[in-house]
Structure 1
Amino acid sequence: MFGLTALELARIQFGFTVSFHIVFPAITIGLASYLVVLEGLWLLKKDEVYRDLYRFWSAIFAVNFAMGVVSGLVMAYEFGTNWSFFSAFAGPITGPLLAYEVLTAFFLEAGFLGVALFGWNKVGPGLHFFATTMVALGTLISATWILASNSWMQTPSGFEIVDGRVVPVDWLKVIFNPSFPYRLAHMTIAAFLSTALFVGAAGAWHLLRGNDNPRVRKMYSMAMWMVLIAAPIQIVVGDGHGLNTLEHQPAKIAAMEGHWRNEPGAGVPLILFGIPDMEKEETRYAVEIPRLGSLILTHRLNGQFKGLSEFDARDRPNSLVLFWSFRIMVGLGMLMLLLGVVGLALRSKRRLFSQRLFLRFATVMGPSGLIALLAGWYTTEIGRQPWVVYGVMRTEDAVSNHSALALSATLVVFVVVYFTVFGLGISYMLKLVGKGPTEGQHHDGPPGGKTMRPARPLSAAPDDVDPIPG
């Protein structure tokens, strides 16, 4: 069905589900740390603005957290149903790493989430802040284990193959594999940036509509500071990540750059735009800057790196996809840097909250962090192809023996269910954002702390949500 093979459909299905899922943990990581900052500032300054913002964003965090848990469960099953040969081959490493995530991060989050969401009237301020911090720490630990597992698939180390299965021989090398530090830092900063842009867009949106109060101003201002700080750091981390990728996955770099062959003695140009052609082994309509590719990737004007034509045709990732997904990520990153710098200039002129063109820019940039994150994830995962464990196991050897018809049917079901369920969830979350923070923001119950509501995460979100005003 659809003219696709079972392997292609299995990849599309997993790519579709992970694309939905990755959005929610990214916002969860960012919002959890943001809540720690808000509560810490409230305890330090005793300014109720910070507490009201905490209560406002904790409701949105609760909805987002619930959707992240639900969407993540599906992928765990997909490893067994669609990628059973991969699970059998790499399970001795990926299985324990994912189990460690559950035993540490998930239990930590589950243990303290209830206190953070519903404990304002039930525990002291110090214990409540501790609970919030533990939830945030849990999200970061979760990212650590997930990135350790995925990074091992990118740059496998610390293992041997015994009887057709990988066997860990050095867990420190397995976990701290060559790409792990770069990918963990890159993903974590991406989560912070995505959240800052989301929060900043919410503040700008309210300011544009005249909802100008100290809470809106504070969250908008904090978000712009975060964008200004995180965007340049992300660029530096991304440069290090690129150098690491060039060392360990040179075919991915060649495909990202649309670079096919070396010219002896000449530096490699940076191709700004073009259309890579996998069959003709060239990038058509290329717009180039001489030697800049060498300078960026080798830090030398005459530096060389392998072109895609130097790799066996079976080992080449799809250059057309990688070329443009990488440029979407980098282009949005440059816009984020511009947003932070212009915001700083307007702040110095006391126009940060009143310059309407910039407020529109900040609003439009709201989803840019998540789009860049997805583009970067596609670059990483598609760039690993045709390997599921780079240089060790090919993707075609990892897929289960399902028919194309079965995978087509389940893919259609996934698309319908995901857009329905998570579409409603995202719509509800945006309605919460549309209400905006107010003085004496919704909290976990009446002064006595007694409530008949079940203490599930979604209980932290209010029921009386009106449509977003036009």
Structure 2
Amino acid sequence: MIENLDPVILARAQFAFTVSFHFIFPAFSIGTASYLMVLEGLWLKTGSGVYANLYRYWLKIFAVAFGMGVVSGVVMSYQFGTNWSVFSAKAGPVIGPLMAYEVLTAFFLEAGFLGVMLFGINKVGRGPHFFATCMVAVGTLISATWIISVNSWMQTPAGYAINAKGQFVPAGSWLPIIFNASFPYRLVHTVIGAYLTTAMVVGAVGAWHLLRDRANPGARKMFSMAMWMAALVAPIQILAGDQHGLNTLEHQPTKVLAMEGHYEASPEGASLILFGLPSNKDAVVHGKIEIPYLGSLILKHDPKAPLPGLNDFPRDRWPPTPIVFWSFRIMVAMGLAMLGLGLWSLLARWRGKLYDWRWLHRAALALGPSGFVAVIAGWVTTEVGRQPFTVYGLLRTAESHSPLAAPAVAASLVAFILVYFGAFGAGTYYLLRMMAKPPAAGEPEPSKVPQRAAGITPASGVVASTGREA
């Protein structure tokens, strides 16, 4: 029975599974590293022990999540050789150097300063330690930049030539390859998504502890900071997503049409299909609920603007529309939920009830995983929407895989599922246990930091909570 399965589908499922597990950890690490940089900066600027406590609290969580992200990403590089050797051979001259630059710049920067960040707080001065924290945060952003550049080139290839061996090679300057048409939009959208993911986790942890002790200064501070992020950054993310969508419509129209469920052209303005059951076989969305003209207003910023349909393109270029259609809606739903939470927190803040409205805290707790759901749904939309190509319009997925038999791919897929759920399930459980512990009122103070600046009580030698709130 396994012999009858399609090895391409199995290889795609394996890569999707491993990258989905991997993606959630860097998405969290990018935001957490920047959050730690802000916390330490505020600690050094204000001398507030609350920031010192929160820095130590989230530093431990970041260390575990960062390690899990590194481990989960190692196997992905091997899959390029084992399952996608044809793709690696043809696209390697372009994507190989970009991924090497990510290691040489970002990963080495992160790894070099991570030790100082984790273990040097009592061994170096305040300035050097804060510099190390900043370098780790910058390293995570540089890493995201290179990886997004690779992925964006696969979405909107540019600056390449094809040699006699059928390989993609740089056609002169690397700048068109790195800064391809979709790169800036995808980078901004992804990084903001990482920040919102971290904000939702921080807000959920803060809400969890506020529900148990609303006087906890650390819980109050982290909840306040997270709600500011949700209120201010979620609208920016929606705007960034709109611009990203316009860019995608220009360069990958079939992806956007699948996202919207438009099989037929709309010469006098397209509706927005809210819900329905798309079918590529029937080329129709069954049972659709739609709003007239709103689709053209969103995609063209003109309610009467014409919009093509999937039927205007060859069927062998259509992505799996049902998957793209629903993953896009899940992503949008999570984004709107974050926006709603942020606006709700503004109302509570305005009325002086930010730490008192229990239902707000319960909502923040429930939306803790929303950032992870959104980034995974966005990744599914992006990658499944690129199908049936690995390099959009140039190299098909069916032509990119290794000559492997289905049983071999299926065996490795089952092994990955068992190992990943076991190892990373235990790691996630440990992270949740760490988050369930409330931030302490006092922590051992680094010896290099002057007592007055750090808020140390001379008698106890620990950081004293000042109780100041944002």
What secondary structure is seen at the aligned counterpart in 2 of 1:286?
Answer: strand
State the one-letter code of the partner of 1:115.
Answer: V
Q: After TM superposition, list the pairs within 5 Å mapping 1:13-162 onto structure 2.
A: 13-162=14-163
- TM normalised by structure 2 equals 0.93
Greater mean alpha carbon deviation, residues 299-308 or residues 118-127: 299-308
Alignment match, 1:334? 336
State the one-letter code of the partner of 2:338.
Answer: M
**Equivalent-residue separation in structure 1 for 2:384 and 2:291 (angstroms):** 26
What secondary structure is seen at the aligned counterpart in 2 of 1:283?
Answer: strand
- Pick from 384, 387, 392 the counterpart of residue 385 of structure 1: 387
Alignment match, 2:454? none
**Equivalent-residue separation in structure 1 for 2:429 and 2:308 (angstroms):** 46
Q: CA deviation at 1:213?
A: 0.9
Alignment match, 2:285? 283
**Alignment pair present for 1:440 and 2:442:** yes
**Alignment pair present for 1:202 and 2:196:** no
**Equivalent-residue separation in structure 2 for 1:39 and 1:322 (angstroms):** 41
What secondary structure is seen at the aligned counterpart in 2 of 1:256?
Answer: helix
**Alignment pair present for 1:241 and 2:247:** no
Instruction: Please tell me whether the aligned partners of residues 55 and 442 of structure 1 are also in contact (alpha carbons under 8 angstroms).
Output: no
Instruction: Please tell me whether the aligned partners of residues 265 and 311 of structure 2 are also in contact (alpha carbons under 8 angstroms).
Output: no
**Equivalent-residue separation in structure 1 for 2:401 and 2:189 (angstroms):** 29
What secondary structure is seen at the aligned counterpart in 1 of 2:263?
Answer: coil
Q: CA deviation at 1:443?
A: 7.6
What secondary structure is seen at the aligned counterpart in 2 of 1:268?
Answer: coil
Instruction: Please tell me whether the aligned partners of residues 332 and 368 of structure 1 are also in contact (alpha carbons under 8 angstroms).
Output: yes
Alignment match, 1:232? 235
- Summarize the Cα distance change of 1:129–1:308 in structure 2 as closer, same or farther, 3 Å threshold: same
- Pick from 253, 256, 259 the counterpart of residue 256 of structure 1: 259
Q: After TM superposition, list the pairs within 5 Å mapping 1:262-273 onto structure 2.
A: 262-264=265-267, 266-273=268-275
What secondary structure is seen at the aligned counterpart in 2 of 1:60?
Answer: helix
Q: CA deviation at 1:350?
A: 1.1
**Equivalent-residue separation in structure 2 for 1:188 and 1:78 (angstroms):** 25
Percent identity for Structure 1 against Structure 2: 58
Q: Deviations over 1:332-359 (max 9, x none)?
A: 1111100000100001111111111111
Alignment match, 2:176? 173
Alignment match, 1:452? none
Q: Which runs of 4+ in 1 moved over 6 A?
A: none
**Equivalent-residue separation in structure 2 for 1:253 and 1:319 (angstroms):** 10
Instruction: Please tell me whether the aligned partners of residues 55 and 443 of structure 1 are also in contact (alpha carbons under 8 angstroms).
Output: no
Q: Deviations over 1:9-30 (max 9, x none)?
A: 0000000000000000011000
Q: CA deviation at 1:222?
A: 0.3
**Equivalent-residue separation in structure 2 for 1:34 and 1:442 (angstroms):** 21
Q: Deviations over 1:48-71 (max 9, x none)?
A: 110110000000000000000000
**Equivalent-residue separation in structure 1 for 2:118 and 2:445 (angstroms):** 8
Greater mean alpha carbon deviation, residues 161-170 or residues 34-43: 161-170
Q: After TM superposition, list the pairs within 5 Å mapping 1:444-459 onto structure 2.
A: none
Greater mean alpha carbon deviation, residues 307-316 or residues 413-422: 307-316
- Summarize the Cα distance change of 1:211–1:441 in structure 2 as closer, same or farther, 3 Å threshold: farther
What secondary structure is seen at the aligned counterpart in 2 of 1:122?
Answer: coil
State the one-letter code of the partner of 1:301.
Answer: P
Alignment match, 1:188? 191
Alignment match, 1:416? 418
Instruction: Please tell me whether the aligned partners of residues 196 and 371 of structure 2 are also in contact (alpha carbons under 8 angstroms).
Output: yes
Q: CA deviation at 1:212?
A: 3.2
**Equivalent-residue separation in structure 2 for 1:210 and 1:267 (angstroms):** 53
Q: CA deviation at 1:229?
A: 1.1
What secondary structure is seen at the aligned counterpart in 1 of 2:290?
Answer: strand
Instruction: Please tell me whether the aligned partners of residues 267 and 303 of structure 1 are also in contact (alpha carbons under 8 angstroms).
Output: yes
- Summarize the Cα distance change of 1:280–1:107 in structure 2 as closer, same or farther, 3 Å threshold: same
Q: CA deviation at 1:211?
A: 5.8
State the one-letter code of the partner of 1:259.
Answer: H
- Summarize the Cα distance change of 1:278–1:376 in structure 2 as closer, same or farther, 3 Å threshold: same
Q: How many residues align?
A: 446
- Summarize the Cα distance change of 1:442–1:287 in structure 2 as closer, same or farther, 3 Å threshold: farther
State the one-letter code of the partner of 1:68.
Answer: G
Root-mean-square deviation (Å): 1.3
Q: After TM superposition, list the pairs within 5 Å mapping 1:356-435 onto structure 2.
A: 356-435=358-437
What secondary structure is seen at the aligned counterpart in 1 of 2:383?
Answer: helix
Instruction: Please tell me whether the aligned partners of residues 120 and 443 of structure 1 are also in contact (alpha carbons under 8 angstroms).
Output: no
Q: CA deviation at 1:305?
A: 2.2
- TM normalised by structure 1 equals 0.93
**Equivalent-residue separation in structure 2 for 1:212 and 1:387 (angstroms):** 54
Instruction: Please tell me whether the aligned partners of residues 269 and 307 of structure 2 are also in contact (alpha carbons under 8 angstroms).
Output: no
State the one-letter code of the partner of 1:227.
Answer: A
State the one-letter code of the partner of 1:403.
Answer: A
What secondary structure is seen at the aligned counterpart in 1 of 2:242?
Answer: helix
Unaligned runs of 5+ in 2: 449-470
Unaligned runs of 5+ in 1: 449-470
State the one-letter code of the partner of 2:370.
Answer: S
What secondary structure is seen at the aligned counterpart in 1 of 2:121?
Answer: coil
Instruction: Please tell me whether the aligned partners of residues 113 and 135 of structure 2 are also in contact (alpha carbons under 8 angstroms).
Output: yes
Q: CA deviation at 1:146?
A: 0.2
Alignment match, 2:455? none
Alignment match, 1:296? 298
Q: Deviations over 1:412-469 (max 9, x none)?
A: 000000000000001001111111211233688xx69xxxxxxxxxxxxxxxxxxxxx
